[in-house]
Amino acid sequence: MEYIDISGLSKENARKLILEREQYYLDFIFSIDEPNIYNILEIAGSSLGNKHTEESLAKMIGRINPAKSRTKMCLAKAGEKHPMFGRTHSV
């Protein structure tokens, strides 16, 4: 974590400084051999308006099996692993 002092900067200059630092850390993450990253933009900023390619969509859809995913999630929080195990809801 890095503290960036933007006090006294215009909104535009503050945004520029923040994005520069974010880009620095993104470049570092992507420089690691075979980085284990998911769903991270390579360029700092908003992903608003970003469109996935047909190839990317097909890959994402191919990885997802809703029935299996739902079952895995249920089993991961079953029994003693459930956050409410041994507790009662207050009225």
CB atoms within 10 A of CB 86: 6
**Secondary-structure percent of the chain, ordered helix, strand, coil, rounded to 5:** 50, 0, 50
Give me the pLDDT at residue 10, please: 96
Domain boundaries, the chain: 11-45+52-79
> pLDDT 10s per residue in the chain (91 long)?
899 999 999 999 999 999 999 999 888 887 876 655 665 677 888 777 778 888 877 777 766 666 666 777 788 888 888 888 888 888 7
Give me the pLDDT at residue 5, please: 94
Give me the pLDDT at residue 9, please: 95
